[in-house]
Structure 1
Amino acid sequence: MFNLKALQKNKTVKYGVPMLLLVIGGSFGLREFTQIRYDAQRIRKRLDPSLEAKVNLEKQSVMLEEEYERMKQVNLDEWKNIRGPRPWEHSKEYQEQQRNSQNKKE
């Protein structure tokens, strides 16, 4: 009896143990709830098997050598870097201005 009363008056037992239980128990509870979320996302993201086959074929069909040969054929001497419009510039007007300046140079 004496030990039980002493434990009830002890601040560590009175406040610390419930706090530890809450933190550790909350950690396990949150893990279960977040796992449900990720499982639902995985189910929702599954593709139709025929569409998934097409996607996999497209990924495998691009070869590095083929891409290199295609890039060798591009004429980079006639390429010109044209900047896009600034946020304060009206994009349609700026595009027209760029087109007109290119046509004048040619």
Structure 2
Amino acid sequence: MNLDELTQRLHAIRDRNDWRRFHSPKNLAMAASVEMAELVEIFQWLGEDESRRLSAEQLEHAGQEVGDIVLYLLLMCAELGIDMEQAVRAKLADNERRFAT
């Protein structure tokens, strides 16, 4: 996954639609949260086993919501000057140190 390419494509959509004025970090965080809630809704009322065996329709819907979340996070990283790949790698390394057996 080329995050720079994805971000450029997102910015092209944003700029064509004059949405930059709406893309403050606060608004992007809230939008990502809303999309996360939509992902959670797919699993609402499912048992543990059912949540691992989604129907094709549910799985497609979950993928769409995951995509929405990642795209909003890419936009937020661009707005704040955060290198997403570096941030994820740093957090993973931190978790590896904290939770090593």
Same fold (TM over 0.5): no
- Structure with bigger helix share is 2
Which TM-score bucket, shorter chain as reference? under 0.3
Q: What's the TM-score once normalised by structure 2's chain length? A: 0.26
Q: What's the TM-score once normalised by structure 1's chain length? A: 0.25
Q: Which has the larger radius of gyration?
A: 1
